[in-house]
Amino acid sequence: MTSRSQRRRSRQRQRLIDAARRIIAQKGLAGLTVQAVTEEADMAVGSFYTYFPNKEALIEAAIWDDLKRLGEPDDLLAQGLPLDQVHAQRLLRIFQFFEDHRDLMRAVFGPDGAPEQFNRGVKLMETTMAATMEEELGLPAEATSWIAALLSGMIAGGLRYLLEHPEVSAQEMTQRMLTLLHPLHQHPWVQDREV
């Protein structure tokens, strides 16, 4: 059970994260300063350092903690779902997150965002996909490395498209991506896994 002071600290920390997200969505990463965040959160500048050692740690909490959770293992295969449905649900989860946080994600990963953040995101996807393919499909590392690189590039392109086209929903983008990935499900590696 958490104490009252732990709950209070958690709420204060979250206020700073929420303030950072609003600022990034409005002004991009370049507009994020400790002063701006504490003003937006209605907190003293000195209190910032109680929760974060620096601005980079705040960016990590505001953006990357949630994105890393998107790539964490799930139990979809254990539920007995066919592999194509597992992929559909995983893709939808990613596209839905970007749709739900469109302004924030556009500020970070869109064309006017930070290229180093975009590259980091692609690398995170690539690493996660390679590990998943090795584990779930039993593919050798030499195959997963190039397949994961290609797929993560496709998904990153789909995410950028989604961010720049508000008329396209996460569901629609997922369907478009699955159409492109359909031939992969016909590959003998995947067919052998589903039998």
Residues 100 and 121 in one domain: yes
Model pLDDT, residue 184 = 61
Q: Tell me: the pLDDT tens digits for 37-72? A: 999 999 999 999 999 999 999 999 999 999 998 888
Q: Tell me: the pLDDT tens digits for 64-110? A: 999 998 888 777 766 777 877 888 898 999 999 999 999 999 999 98
pTM of the entire predicted model: 0.84
Q: Hey, what long-range contacts does 160-164 have (CB within 8 A, 24 or more apart)? A: 160/109, 160/110, 160/111, 162/95, 162/98, 162/99, 162/102, 163/98, 163/102, 163/105, 163/106, 163/109, 163/110, 164/106, 164/110, 164/111
Name the token pair of 137: 């499909």
Residues 87 and 139 in one domain: yes
Range of the domain at 90: 71-194
Q: Tell me: the pLDDT tens digits for 172-195? A: 999 999 998 876 655 555 545 443
Q: Taking residues 141-170, report their average pLDDT.
A: 92
Residues 59 and 91 in one domain: no
Identity of the residue numbered 41: A
Residues 50 and 26 in one domain: yes
What is the CATH classification number for the domain harbouring 34?
A: 1.10.10.60
Residues 133 and 189 in one domain: yes
Residues 168 and 115 in one domain: yes
Number of domains in the chain: 2
Q: Taking residues 133-149, report their average pLDDT.
A: 84
Residues 30 and 76 in one domain: no
Model pLDDT, residue 173 = 96
Residues 178 and 84 in one domain: yes
